[in-house]
Amino acid sequence: MSATEVDPIEALLARDEIRSLPIRYAAAVEARDVDAMAELFSPHARFGKYGQGPDGLRRLMTDSLAGSLFAVMLVANHLIDLQDDTHGSGQVWAHCYAQTREDGFLEQLIKYEDRYEKLSGRWLFAHRRHRLWYGTSHDQSPLSQPAANWPQGQVGVGDIPLADPEFAAWWRSVR
């Protein structure tokens, strides 16, 4: 069955479910929740030296997030092509803001090239290729500012990062 033969309602439902994958991935990165990330990947997905399937992804992301104090990814421009009723491909852009222990405050523009598959009634990532457009570190982290105390102040550190115990402990140690 070609993409043009996929039932239009099924295609809409598939695209909606697939569209949630990178958003859920970004939320899991923000929460440093490798189990939530692993749930988004097919058991067939490969992660190089880290292995295959959800366990391979867990090993990769545990290593990748080890020095992360926070990361926020804004997801945009998601293009999805369905090959049939169980396979698709796409690309999605992400703008990432992160604070790491080693590199400080970072900003990245990332293009993900994805393949999707539907297994047991769920759409999952079959493959994600992370392609970096740029990554830059900033001399000073915007998190070195005093608290904004919104709504009284619009400039400064907000309450979101300070609600994370690991981040808050780090922030107190560098203040």
Say if residue 172 is in the same domain as residue 96. Answer: no
d(CA 2, CA 42): 22
Say if residue 152 is in the same domain as residue 116. Answer: no
Inform me whether the pLDDT recorded for 159 exceeds 90.
no
32-87 tens-digit pLDDT: 999 999 999 999 999 999 999 999 999 999 999 998 998 999 999 999 999 999 99
Say if residue 99 is in the same domain as residue 166. Answer: no
- Count other Cβ atoms within 10 Å, centred on residue 136: 9
Inform me whether the pLDDT recorded for 163 exceeds 60.
yes
Strand locations in the chain (E):
68-82, 87-100, 104-119, 122-137
96-153 tens-digit pLDDT: 999 998 889 999 999 999 999 999 999 999 999 999 999 999 998 888 888 888 888 8
Q: Residue type for 75, please?
A: V
pTM (two decimals): 0.89
Confidence of residue 4 (pLDDT cuts 50, 70, 90): low
Inform me whether the pLDDT recorded for 166 exceeds 90.
no
Say if residue 132 is in the same domain as residue 77. Answer: yes
Which residue bears the tokens 């090959």?
83
Q: Residue 63 belongs to a domain with what CATH number?
A: 3.10.450.50
pLDDT at 150: 82
Number of domains observed in the structure of the chain? 2
Domain containing 59: what range? 3-139
CB 94 within 8 A of CB 75: yes
pLDDT at 1: 45
Return the structure tokens found at 23.
Answer: 């958003």
Say if residue 92 is in the same domain as residue 67. Answer: yes
Instruction: Output 17-21 pairs: Cβ under 8 A, ≥24 positions apart.
Output: 17/122, 17/123, 18/80, 18/88, 18/90, 18/116, 18/123, 19/78, 19/80, 21/114, 21/116, 21/123, 21/124, 21/125
pLDDT at 147: 84
Say if residue 131 is in the same domain as residue 153. Answer: no
Inform me whether the pLDDT recorded for 167 exceeds 70.
yes
